């Protein structure tokens, strides 16, 4: 069973304080003004992709659903807010009863996105929606950044599997989220046991240089590992002399040795030498795993090398140079002043007017992906009002939460498979690592508020 199906809470009493103070002060002021109950629509989008990226990857949706379910102001949290004089009594009463009762629509996890894509749409009263801004953005920005890096790496790796091994390079809870996002983006396994436990991601791991250094010589270390883990284990061969280590590894484990790992040096050159040596020793089925601060460019440079798997750490969990997806959460529509609390009240598009590239497009939006004659994506179409008939069956947003209840929880493998299909549906240039613009343009159609 995939524990992602269970809606498990994060390892804190609640997610309610994963927020910025101004969300609570806005709520306080809106309650006083009588506008907190006004029907509102917020959308998550990004104005641009990270420099040089051709597409983005939606990740963290399942974690957002968990966070919304567990967004509860318990007694300890309320006491903190009262003692710090962050909110007044009326707001405390509101928060004590807080349960998100609105609707959330979004791109399904694993889908690709582009500038302006309405990645997630949150609908309800202003009060209940505004409180979710920070927790939603913190999850989607982190997880989508990691998934995008993972996608580029898995594309560069081709059919060769990737191992996520970045837990020691980031915060302990971020490491679990990163492993999850990497799996969505195409990684096959993780070294992080918390990620394996929580999300049922396959886990791997054998030994580090410390294990070799513990023993009097390399042969003793290899023998101890093989005795404990079997001949199919992976032996680390670059602690001292690689050629000598490979020879010793095959002598100890025999030609049935599962794999050797190389963690330093000129990986392209060393991999060729090790492959030749293994074959000469009769270990023709022994695989070669390479690690050592890899990113998508290093992986691509090893495409012609006799490498069977890659282990990636630092560059993955830091988004390979882009640790955030730069998503924002903006109010795009609200009920008019006539019947602000009426769920059927017409929506009025609203948008910030600003210079410096921070403008946004008002109105409750839909999104669809138009295909070319060959069935590949050619444009991301974002609009308000009625959806054109030609795009009706190409809509991207799905219902995630209805009336406060999660309706779209799914196994993580579903998101992983969806991403593989979505990436395959993009033009071939999407997988190029050279810098370029988004692989398809975003087109806007305006047709009213979309209420």
Between 430 and 451, the higher pLDDT residue = 430
- Average of pLDDT values for 330-355? 81
The DSSP secondary structure of 122-174, one letter per residue, reads: EEEEHHHHHTTHHHHHHHHHHHHHHHHHHHHHHHHHTTS-EEE--GGGS-HHH
- Looking at residue 359, its pLDDT comes to 74
pLDDT score for 355: 66
| Residues in Cβ contact with 20 at an 8 Å cutoff, skipping those fewer than 6 apart | 133, 134
What's the pLDDT at 10? 41
- pLDDT above 60: residue 102: yes
Predicted TM-score of the model (pTM) = 0.93
Residue 340: its pLDDT value, please?
56
Q: What is the CA radius of gyration of the chain?
A: 25
Reported as a pLDDT band with limits 50, 70 and 90, residue 338 is low
Q: Considering the chain, what is the average pLDDT of its residues?
A: 94
Is the pLDDT assigned to residue 148 strictly greater than 90?
Answer: yes
Residue 354 in this model has a pLDDT that exceeds 80? no
Polymer length in residues for the chain: 451
Q: Which two tokens stand for residue 278?
A: 């293994």
Is the predicted pLDDT of residue 339 greater than 50, yes or no? yes
Q: What percent of the chain has pLDDT over 70?
A: 94
Of all helices (H) and strands (E), which one includes residue 423?
helix 412-424
Phi-psi region of 171 (alpha: psi -120 to 50; beta: other; left: phi over 0): beta
pLDDT at 345: 78
Which tokens belong to 134?
């920070």
Average pLDDT over residues 251-272: 97
Q: What DSSP element (H or E) covers 46? A: strand 39-46
- State the Cα–Cα distance between residues 89 and 103, nearest whole angstrom: 28
**Residue 353: per-residue pLDDT:** 81
- Determine the average pLDDT of the residues in 374-391: 96
Looking at residue 434, its pLDDT comes to 87
9 pLDDT tier (thresholds 50, 70, 90): very low
Rounded (10°) angle between helices 172-184 and 133-157? 50
- Tell me the mean pLDDT in the region 294-318: 97
Tokens (6 digits) for 11: 């390892």
Q: What is the pLDDT of residue 435?
A: 85
Spatial separation of the C-alpha atoms in residues 42 and 130, rounded to whole Å: 8
Q: How far apart are CA 145 and CA 152, in angstroms?
A: 11
Cα 330 from Cα 351, distance rounded (Å): 8
Express each pLDDT in 26-81 by its tens digit: 999 999 999 999 999 999 999 999 998 999 999 999 999 999 999 999 999 999 99
Q: What is the pLDDT of residue 4?
A: 47
Structural tokens at position 361: 């497009």
User: Is 246 a residue whose pLDDT tops 50?
Assistant: yes
Q: How high is the pLDDT of residue 336?
A: 85
């Amino acid at each position: 069973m995939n524990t992602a199906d269970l809606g498990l809470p994060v390892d804190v009493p609640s997610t309610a304080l994963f927020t910025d103070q101004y969300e609570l002060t806005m709520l306080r002021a809106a309650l006083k003004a009588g506008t907190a109950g006004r029907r509102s629509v917020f959308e998550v989008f990004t104005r641009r992709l990270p420099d040089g990226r051709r597409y983005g990857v939606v990740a963290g949706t399942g974690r957002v659903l968990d966070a919304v379910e567990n967004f509860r102001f318990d007694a300890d949290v309320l006491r903190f807010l009262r003692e710090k004089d962050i909110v007044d009594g009326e707001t405390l009463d509101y928060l004590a009863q807080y349960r998100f009762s609105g609707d959330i629509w979004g791109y399904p996890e694993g889908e690709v996105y582009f500038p302006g894509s309405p990645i997630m749409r949150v609908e309800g009263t202003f009060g209940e929606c505004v409180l979710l801004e920070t927790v939603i953005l913190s999850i989607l920005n982190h997880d989508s950044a990691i998934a995008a890096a993972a996608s580029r790496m898995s594309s560069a790796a081709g059919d060769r599997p990737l191992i996520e091994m970045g837990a020691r390079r980031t915060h302990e809870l971020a490491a679990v989220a990163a492993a999850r996002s990497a799996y969505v983006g195409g990684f096959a396994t993780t070294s992080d046991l918390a990620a394996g436990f929580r999300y049922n991601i396959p886990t791997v791991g054998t030994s580090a240089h410390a294990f070799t250094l513990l023993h009097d010589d390399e042969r003793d270390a290899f023998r101890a590992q093989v005795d404990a883990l079997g001949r199919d284990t992976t032996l680390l061969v670059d602690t001292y002399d690689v050629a000598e280590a490979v020879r010793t590894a095959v002598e100890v484990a025999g030609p049935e040795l599962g794999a050797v790992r190389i963690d330093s040096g000129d990986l392209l050159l060393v991999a060729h030498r090790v492959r030749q040596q293994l074959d000469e020793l009769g270990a023709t089925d022994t695989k070669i795993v390479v690690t050592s601060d890899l990113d998508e460019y290093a992986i691509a440079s090893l495409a012609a090398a006799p490498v069977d798997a890659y282990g990636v750490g630092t560059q993955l969990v830091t988004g390979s140079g882009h640790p955030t997806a730069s998503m924002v959460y903006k109010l795009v529509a609200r009920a008019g002043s006539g019947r602000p609390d009426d769920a059927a009240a017409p929506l009025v598009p609203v948008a910030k007017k600003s210079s410096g590239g921070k403008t946004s497009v008002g109105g409750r939006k839909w999104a669809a992906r138009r295909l070319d004659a060959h069935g590949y994506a050619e444009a991301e179409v974002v609009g308000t009002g009625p959806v054109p008939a030609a795009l009706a069956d190409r809509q991207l947003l799905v219902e995630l939460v209805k009336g406060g209840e999660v309706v779209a929880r799914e196994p993580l493998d579903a998101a992983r498979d969806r991403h593989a299909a979505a990436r395959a549906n993009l033009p071939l240039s999407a997988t190029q690592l050279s810098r370029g613009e988004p692989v398809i343009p975003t087109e806007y159609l305006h047709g009213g508020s979309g209420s």
